[in-house]
Structure 1
Amino acid sequence: MLKDALFHVIKVTPLGLPEANFSLNIADEVPISLNFNEIFPYGVMMMTPDHLEDFAYGFCLTEEIIQSAEQIRSVAITHTDDGLAVDITIAGNCLTALLRRRPRAQIGHTSCGICGSEAVPSVEMTKDCALPLAHTITIDALRRALNDLDAWQKLNAVTRMVHAAAWADADGHIQMIREDVGRHTALDKLIGARLRDGLTTQNGVCLLTSRYSFEMALKTLRAGIAIVAAVSAPTYRAYKLAEKMNQTLVAIARRDRQIVFCGGERIIQ
């Protein structure tokens, strides 16, 4: 994989103190163009330029372009004049279905998951199959994962400006993390990493450093994630979707306090 700088060091000056300039790490934000089967340019995402293979798999799954990892034949990454290109080859039936869609109307910004899409699905129009109550997590395990989250955020430690999506097992031990300037791209990278490795997204918890907005709920549900803990609050639309789909949502999740919004049956003492 091509490796580009994830952050840059710049000189800054405190307001009113022109002689006190100092160095500051700033995370990069790079245009990543997505192309399918060398014939269909899908759009451009603004994101952190690492773990792009993971992103390709996660994005294709959560955008319902594929249903399984085997439907992606290859992922190639190349430099462009201003950014990177991710060329994804998918199975013929997936490409046929994709070509029937209208492409996004604009660039996918770092703050925007479904912005530019032709239509936004309503809570009532999402898939009918609610998540089963097959797995649980203890309060102690959930708090252990939240307590350890900061230590896993390596890029954020040097920039203090990126989001993270992490996966912890049922015992609360974090197993992997993906970071990005965009919250939804960090989540796609995490989902894609697990998909590529053939790992389940059911028995454990997904940790998010961002708010739980509607597109984040859609992505976790499409990946079959039953338990989510978000550092910030959910939007009402995201909460109603999580509730409808029987997802366990813990939000405003800090070290000293966590709030169960729905799906509390999966959380045990």
Structure 2
Amino acid sequence: MSEEPAATTFPTTTTWSIHRYNGSEVLPEEDTVAIEAPLTIQLDGEEFATLVYTPSDTIDLVTGFLASEGLIRFIDQIESLTLEEDRGFAHVKLRQLHQLSRQLVSKRFIGSCCGKSRQFYFHNDMRTAKTVTTKLQLTIPQCFHLMNELQEQSAEFRLTGGLHNAALCTVNKLLLTRADIGRHNALDKIYGHILRHRLSVRDKVLAFSGRISSEVALKAAKMGVGILLSKSAPTDLALRLAEDLGITVVGFIRRDHLTVYTHPERIVECR
């Protein structure tokens, strides 16, 4: 990307006057709520998509969203990215926009690959989601540690109860955290940072606060991350995709319990 926009800081929470019932009486209080803002992405001068997001890490979000949609795979494919965050716009110019990629965004498709029952909702997923072959391994105590670290760093969630959190991790610590009202946005912010800073993810783990849907599994595959941790549950399509794409899914990581759903060979105690 030849032009890096200047980062601008906007508030992500605000206060609201409420009346709270505490079990015996109603009291007036000030509550903290998450800010929700629209962001329209203009692609080569035309409106492409409007996201609703938490106004933070906007450059990462736009970059990751374009990658998730299959329009880019490398940061160098973005010629320029200009933000008008106060007006809710991001202006993107790509070095080369393949018309096929743009036409296939959001077009539904179900197919198979390599003789397996790999199912995709969208054409561009078929083009950009790749099988992960990392040999990284994680212990069960490390799973608990990373999820606990994610929760401890989720200050805005504790204040509002309205944000999802995601983190890129090594086996021992969190390297990068992102938060958003949308769980997919939180992951796209991680993805965008990976691309912008050209990070290697072969030895990295994704920790996530939300449900593991098929789209979440696909984002992990597009990033190239082979282990996905969550305190919540997966869906059946997410597990089928994860099994086929080589992703280890560990869900319901809470207190002293967890469930390994796919590719247990990467969890040391399951070998």
TM-score by length of 1: 0.85
What is the Cα deviation at residue 91 of structure 1?
A: 1.5
What is the Cα deviation at residue 199 of structure 1?
A: 1.0
Q: CA RMSD in A?
A: 2.1
Amino acid aligned to 2:156: L
Give the equivalent residue in structure 2 for 1:113: none
Aligned length: 250
Of 83, 86, 89 in structure 1, the residue corresponding to residue 90 of structure 2 is 86
Moved more, 3-12 or 138-147: 138-147
Give the equivalent residue in structure 1 for 2:257: 257
Give the equivalent residue in structure 2 for 1:25: 32
Give the equivalent residue in structure 1 for 2:157: 156
8 Å contact kept, 1:6–1:49 = yes
> Per-residue displacement from partner, 1:24-73 (whole Å, max 9, x unpaired)?
00001111101112x22111111101101011111111211111111112
Amino acid aligned to 2:193: A
Give the equivalent residue in structure 1 for 2:168: 167
Amino acid aligned to 2:119: E
8 Å contact kept, 1:137–1:204 = no
What is the Cα deviation at residue 234 of structure 1?
A: 0.5
Amino acid aligned to 1:4: F
What is the Cα deviation at residue 198 of structure 1?
A: 1.4
Looking at structure 2, the residues matched to 158 and 233 of structure 1 have their Cα atoms a distance apart, in angstroms, of 23
Partner SS, residue 131 of structure 2: coil
Structure 1 segment 9-158 matched on structure 2, within 5 A: 9-15=15-21, 20-37=27-44, 39-79=45-85, 84-92=88-96, 94-101=97-104, 117-119=106-108, 121=110, 123-125=118-120, 126=126, 129-158=130-159
> Per-residue displacement from partner, 1:152-181 (whole Å, max 9, x unpaired)?
1132132121000111102x2011100000
What is the Cα deviation at residue 99 of structure 1?
A: 4.2
Instruction: Pick closer, same or farther for the CA change 1:266–1:168 going to 2, 3 Å.
Output: same
Give structure 1 stretches of 5+ with no counterpart: 103-116
Partner SS, residue 244 of structure 1: helix
Give the equivalent residue in structure 1 for 2:179: 179
Looking at structure 2, the residues matched to 139 and 19 of structure 1 have their Cα atoms a distance apart, in angstroms, of 44
Partner SS, residue 202 of structure 2: coil
Percent identity reads 25
Amino acid aligned to 1:57: T
Give structure 2 stretches of 5+ with no counterpart: 1-6, 112-117, 121-125
Amino acid aligned to 2:108: A
Does 2:216 align with 1:235?
Answer: no
TM-score by length of 2: 0.85
8 Å contact kept, 1:2–1:78 = no
Partner SS, residue 265 of structure 1: helix
> Per-residue displacement from partner, 1:102-139 (whole Å, max 9, x unpaired)?
6xxxxxxxxxxxxxx33255643546852214222222
